[in-house]
């Protein structure tokens, strides 16, 4: 079990917090060597220390996923460090600014930022990972973090549109990549308290970490449990691993039944 990933080389974007951090930790625990990429390199370094504290191997790389040159550099860093790339987890996502903002109240800058980080970041990651996978000639696995917001109306119209686009990109690239054994899948989390996401959307960080908030969120889900970053990491690990070798182009809701109602 510890060598589920052998010594595969993996990149996780947004690894400085929440789902990205949990995923980096689990991948490393299962044997992968991990590049922890984040725009906040200090947070990424903190994740590396946590990985190393558990006996794993990781390195931090400062990356703004909305910048193609930096994403190319991130892929290059994995190859330089570990000799190859096997897995890319495109996990970065930013929320609707001022959570609850209506479509007509988004500024043009806010619209462009959401699109360039949430969709552009996935596009650049996929583009340069696929080029690297094809160069290696031994396949590869990409997992994109989308959202239930890409399936139903949740979390804001522009944010949701970026996540819907990530799901379509996932399906289309899965078909392009299949002849090269490049698998592309996605997860769709629902509202997750206790990551940095709500605070990034302007919610008071203490309020977003409070048990009452988690209880309120849990009550919106059929299973009645608040979603955690670790729940998402488990689904990402499965999709990234060879256990899912015949699964591509799918999106897995990690949502306590939220979209099944
Ligand atoms: N938390 C939720 O309620 C929720 C719900 C559905 C989907 N998601 C999705 O899950 C993913 C992870 O979210 P999270 O809850 O762990 O959020 P988080 O805010 O805890 O973590 C996001 C990380 O991404 C980094 N980041 C932000 N912009 C970046 C950029 N341009 N380049 C590189 N790194 C950048 C941040 O520094 C942070 O470390 C996102 O794609 C998000 O859209 C979250």
The CA-based dihedral angle spanning residues 6, 7, 10, 14, taken in that order and rounded to the nearest 10 degrees: 90
Q: What is the pLDDT of residues 143-156, one digit of tens each?
A: 999 999 999 999 99
Q: What is the pLDDT of residues 162-221, one digit of tens each?
A: 999 999 999 999 999 999 999 999 999 999 998 999 999 999 999 999 999 999 999 999
Interval between CA 92 and ligand 1 midpoint (Å): 5
Where does the pLDDT of residue 67 fall: very low under 50, low under 70, confident under 90, or very high at 90 and above?
very high
Q: Please report which confidence band the pLDDT of residue 2 belongs to, taking 50, 70 and 90 as the band edges.
A: low
Q: What is the CA(93)–ligand 1 centre distance, in A?
A: 4
- Does the pLDDT value for residue 9 go beyond 50? yes
CA of 179 to the centre of ligand 1 (A): 31
| Global pTM value | 0.98
Is there a domain that residue 257 lies in?
Answer: no
Q: Where are the beta strands (DSSP E) in the chain?
A: 9-13, 33-38, 57-62, 87-90, 140-145, 182-189, 251-254
Give the H/E segment covering residue 16.
none
Q: Which pLDDT score is estimated for 3? A: 84
Looking at the DSSP bridge assignments, the partners of residue 140 are: 182
Q: Supply the CATH number for residue 235's domain.
A: 3.40.50.720
Out of 13, 14, 68, mutate this one to test ligand 1's pocket (max ligand atoms within 8 Å of CB): namely: 14
Catalytic residue from among 5, 159, 197, 213: 159
Q: Which of 159, 232, 158 is nearest to 190 (CA)?
A: 232
- For residue 40, tell me if it sits in a domain: yes
CA of 70 to the centre of ligand 1 (A): 18
Is the minimum distance from the CB of 228 to ligand 1 under 6 angstroms?
A: no
Q: What is the pLDDT of residues 88-109, one digit of tens each?
A: 999 999 999 999 999 999 999 9
Would you say the CB of residue 156 lies under 6 angstroms from ligand 1?
no
Task: Give the span between the Cα atoms of 37 and 14, in whole angstroms.
Answer: 6
Residue 169: what pLDDT? 99
Distance, CA of 150 to CA of 255 (rounded, Å): 13
164: in domain: yes
Q: Is 224 left (phi over 0), alpha (psi -120 to 50) or beta?
A: left
- Cβ–Cβ < 8 Å for 185, 251: yes
Q: Is 110 in the pocket of ligand 1 (CB under 6 A)?
A: no
Count of structural domains, the chain: 1
In a domain, 259, yes or no: no
pLDDT of residue 36: 99
In a domain, residue 4? The reply is no
Residue 181 Cβ inside 6 Å of ligand 1? The answer reads no
Mean pLDDT of the chain: 97
User: In the structure, what pLDDT confidence band is assigned to residue 7 with cuts at 50, 70 and 90?
Assistant: confident
Tell which residue, 112, 67, 54, 65, has the closest CA to residue 88: 65
* Residues β-bridged to residue 251: 186
Percentage of residues in the chain with pLDDT exceeding 70? 99
Q: Is residue 212 part of a domain?
A: yes
The answer to whether residue 1 scores a pLDDT higher than 90 is no
Active site residue 159: yes
Cβ-contact 198, 209 below 8 angstroms: no
**Quick check: is 52 in a domain?**
yes
**83 C-beta neighbours (distance < 10 Å), count:** 11
- Domain range enclosing 165: 9-252
Ligand 1: residue whose CA is nearest its atom 20: 196
Residue 203: alpha-carbon gap to chain centroid: 21
150 lines ligand 1 (CB under 6 A): no
DSSP string, 186-245: EEEE---TTSSHHHHTT--HHHHHSHHHHHHHHHTSTT-----HHHHHHHHHHHHSGGGT
User: Is the residue at 56 inside a domain?
Assistant: yes
Q: Is 120 in the pocket of ligand 1 (CB under 6 A)?
A: no
Upper half-sphere CA count for residue 83 (Cβ side, 13 Å): 4
Q: What is the pLDDT of residues 38-62, one digit of tens each?
A: 999 999 999 999 999 999 999 999 9
């Amino acid at each position: 079990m510890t060598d589920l990933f052998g010594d595969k080389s993996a990149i996780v974007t947004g690894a400085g917090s929440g789902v990205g951090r949990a995923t980096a930790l689990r991948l490393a625990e299962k044997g992968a060597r991990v590049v922890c990429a984040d725009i906040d390199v200090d947070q990424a370094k903190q994740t590396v220390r946590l990985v190393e504290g558990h006996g794993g191997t990781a390195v931090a790389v400062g990356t703004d996923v909305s910048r193609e040159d930096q994403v190319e550099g991130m892929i290059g860093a994995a190859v330089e460090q570990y000799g190859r790339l096997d897995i890319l987890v495109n996990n970065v996502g930013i929320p609707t600014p001022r959570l609850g903002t209506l479509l007509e109240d988004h500024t043009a800058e806010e619209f462009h930022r959401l699109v360039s980080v949430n969709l552009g970041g996935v596009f650049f990651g996929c583009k340069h990972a696929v080029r690297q996978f094809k160069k290696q000639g031994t396949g590869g696995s990409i997992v994109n973090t989308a959202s239930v917001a890409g399936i139903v109306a949740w979390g804001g119209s522009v944010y949701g549109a970026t996540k819907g686009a990530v799901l379509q990109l996932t399906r289309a690239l899965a078909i392009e990549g299949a002849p090269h054994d490049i698998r592309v899948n996605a997860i769709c989390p629902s509202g997750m308290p206790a990551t940095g996401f709500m605070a990034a959307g302007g919610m008071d960080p203490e309020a977003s970490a409070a048990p009452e908030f988690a209880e309120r969120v849990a009550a919106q889900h059929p299973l009645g449990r608040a979603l955690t970053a670790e729940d998402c990491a488990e689904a990402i690990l499965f999709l990234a691993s060879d256990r899912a070798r015949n699964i591509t182009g799918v999106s897995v809701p990690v949502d306590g039944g939220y979209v099944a109602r």
